[in-house]
Structure 1
Amino acid sequence: FTKNKYGTNGERGKLCGDNNAGTAEANAPVAYAFICICTAETVAATSECADGKTERVQDSVDSKSEAEKAWDKIVTACKRQPKPTTVTPAAIRQVLTHVLSRIGALNTNSTAGNDKFTLGTLSSSKCDGTTSAKQCVNYKKQQVSVGRKLSWIEDLITAEQFLAQAEKEATKAAALQQQLLNINRLAWDVYTSAAYDIENPTQELPADQSGPAKLTKEQDCNKHYLNKKCKNPCKWDETAIEKDKRCSLDPVKAAEQQETQTAGTGANDGKPDCSKLLTQQACENANKDDKKHCGWKKEGDNDHNKYKEMCRNGSFLVNKQFALSVVSAAFAALLF
């Protein structure tokens, strides 16, 4: 706001667009529109903007000091109004919508063709402030002329666009920050896993020296920080909060490993104990080196579980085959 705009040559009237066609000077910052709406020219204002606002800014005399005093009181009144906690594009758009809806809303003149472009109270075709019914500003020239725009409305639109773009950039920045955090976490996991592998190299026995497989424990699984290294009987859980708990022991797979390991050691003769294998897969896994140690089947008449399929020792089949071969040999000897 510049008080020097108000001199003795009808500056108030020009800033308020005080004729039917409006004026170019009315395309001024919104502060000057408040002077047009809230003050009168030849008489005291009638509190159009706020209670007790009766200042006047005259057209024919030097009114610089009067305009400055009036503006200070308008600012004080505005500061008492509720404000948004945050200025957002939506808040600016709401203000724009409300202000634009007020243009022409208080026109009571019968010739509405000219007065529909006015902001403020109007009962005639001139916003000269000579009565309370003429405390207004006429924007007809700005709204009708091709290519002309109202400066302070354009300023608000620009502010809305800038804030909207800033919100988009802030969203992108937050997404990039999250990606960087994920990359940093992955890099740290790779580093930790690699450091552990270097300090704890895997010891593999030659094929002819390999003994029974070592049973996997929970601690063995917890040492793996990468999904690709978390292998059976371990399982990977990406949602685990603690990094050393993402790879944990799968109880089902661990039980199968225990069964196979127990069967693999067997008794003192090195044969598997088929009765300890509780699943068909574990039972079949016990048959190695093309030897039929165990079988998933029902048993003979003397077995109280004869109707139940379970893992049973396969030696009785071998014994029967051996006995049959002995009988066959003896029978052949008799024939020849």
Structure 2
Amino acid sequence: MFCQKGSGNIGTLCYATGATAKAKTIIATIICACASVGSGSTKACWNPKTALSNLAGATDTSTTAWNWLKQLCHIPGKAKLTSSGLQTALTAVLAQIEFDSTTGYLGGAGTGTCDGTKAAGICVKFTGATGLTHTSIQYIPWITALNKAIKGLKEIEDATAAAEGIQAAIEATKQEAYSLLEEVKVEVDQQVSQPQPPAKAQPTEQECNKHTEQNDCKEPCKWEANATEQTKKCSLDHKKAAEQATQAATGEKPK
């Protein structure tokens, strides 16, 4: 909890100055701000029915003090840990620090010694701090660790959100492709199911012979003005008839 074992005066432990802070953990900070070594000042943070026993620094009772204090903290059960949640909590704690000249105090400062008594202060002392951005505060181990955790969580959250966005885009593209395929399939099925017009019957030689006027003799019939037989001047052109039959079968337009 602390960087060293307590002495008779907890004020020797409740100094939190940068990387060399003695109150280097969150638990130590809570103990310094809420526990007391003096009679009559054991309700610094709460007013429970049974007051917290005095903290005896000489016998290093910080563990006992924390076991009691954490029951009053209303620590929630399992909850989702987020970068914004951690940042909000850290900001709320730091907002409680008050500054007097070149020293910051978290808790009841009293005369500023932070020795665990009502008169001298039940507090954490940040020597040299003139504001929240000062190294005396920002380089405290537990604050440094929390800031690092917040940054790491934010990076994970951003990466997760980006991955979810990519996955959503992939799913949307897949659904669009499936829809297009269904549209194409329906269109093809409709074309296949549509009845094809019956092929036009090709005229026979006898049918061509019935035409006695050139204007009535149309392909695949062929007019032969010099034919010796009057009834055969309009006769079937077999080559043209074959071409028309092929065009009808393939759907090709006549040339």
- TM-score of Structure 1 vs Structure 2, range by shorter chain: 0.5 to 0.7
What is the one-letter code of the residue matched to 2:5?
Y
State whether residues 41 and 130 of structure 1, in contact with CA within 8 Å, keep that contact through their aligned partners in structure 2: yes
Structure 1 residue 62 corresponds to structure 2 residue 59: yes
State whether residues 105 and 125 of structure 2, in contact with CA within 8 Å, keep that contact through their aligned partners in structure 1: yes
What is the one-letter code of the residue matched to 2:62?
A
State whether residues 98 and 104 of structure 2, in contact with CA within 8 Å, keep that contact through their aligned partners in structure 1: yes
Alignment match, 2:42: 46
State whether residues 17 and 137 of structure 1, in contact with CA within 8 Å, keep that contact through their aligned partners in structure 2: yes
What is the one-letter code of the residue matched to 2:73?
C
Q: How does 1:30-109 map to 2 (within 5 A)?
A: 30-43=26-39, 45-52=41-48, 53-59=51-57, 61-63=58-60, 66-79=61-74, 87-104=81-98
| Cα distance change on mapping 1:14 and 1:141 into 2, 3 Å | farther
Alignment match, 1:164: 154
Query: In the aligned structure 2, how far is the partner of 1:27 from the partner of 1:141?
Result: 16
After superposition, the C-alpha distances for 1:183-239 in whole angstroms (9 at most, x for unaligned) are 222332344355556666547969x95xxxxxxxxxxxxxxxxxxxxxxxxxxxxxx
Deviation at 1:47, TM superposition (A): 0.1
Find the residue that maps to 1:136 and give its secondary structure: strand
Structure 1 residue 129 corresponds to structure 2 residue 123: no
Query: In the aligned structure 2, how far is the partner of 1:67 from the partner of 1:146?
Result: 23
Query: Normalising by structure 1, what TM-score?
Result: 0.46
Structure 1 residue 13 corresponds to structure 2 residue 11: yes
Gaps of 5+ in 1: 106-111, 210-336
Query: In the aligned structure 1, how far is the partner of 2:127 from the partner of 2:81?
Result: 30
Find the residue that maps to 1:137 and give its secondary structure: strand
| Cα distance change on mapping 1:178 and 1:25 into 2, 3 Å | closer
What is the one-letter code of the residue matched to 1:38?
C
Query: In the aligned structure 2, how far is the partner of 1:26 from the partner of 1:133?
Result: 18
Find the residue that maps to 1:48 and give its secondary structure: coil
Query: Normalising by structure 2, what TM-score?
Result: 0.58
Query: In the aligned structure 2, how far is the partner of 1:22 from the partner of 1:195?
Result: 71
| Among 77, 97, 101, the residue aligned to 1:113 | 101
Residues matched between the structures, number:
195
Find the residue that maps to 1:94 and give its secondary structure: helix
| Cα distance change on mapping 1:197 and 1:131 into 2, 3 Å | closer
Deviation at 1:182, TM superposition (A): 1.8
| Among 164, 184, 205, the residue aligned to 2:174 | 184
Deviation at 1:29, TM superposition (A): 0.8
Find the residue that maps to 1:102 and give its secondary structure: coil
Query: In the aligned structure 2, how far is the partner of 1:184 from the partner of 1:92?
Result: 38
Which range moved further: 165-174 or 187-196? 187-196
Deviation at 1:50, TM superposition (A): 0.8
State whether residues 19 and 139 of structure 2, in contact with CA within 8 Å, keep that contact through their aligned partners in structure 1: no
Gaps of 5+ in 2: 201-255
Deviation at 1:147, TM superposition (A): 10
Deviation at 1:117, TM superposition (A): 1.0
After superposition, the C-alpha distances for 1:114-155 in whole angstroms (9 at most, x for unaligned) are 4x4111112223112244541111122577558971222223
Kindly report the root-mean-square deviation, in angstroms, between the aligned alpha carbons of the 2 structures.
4.1
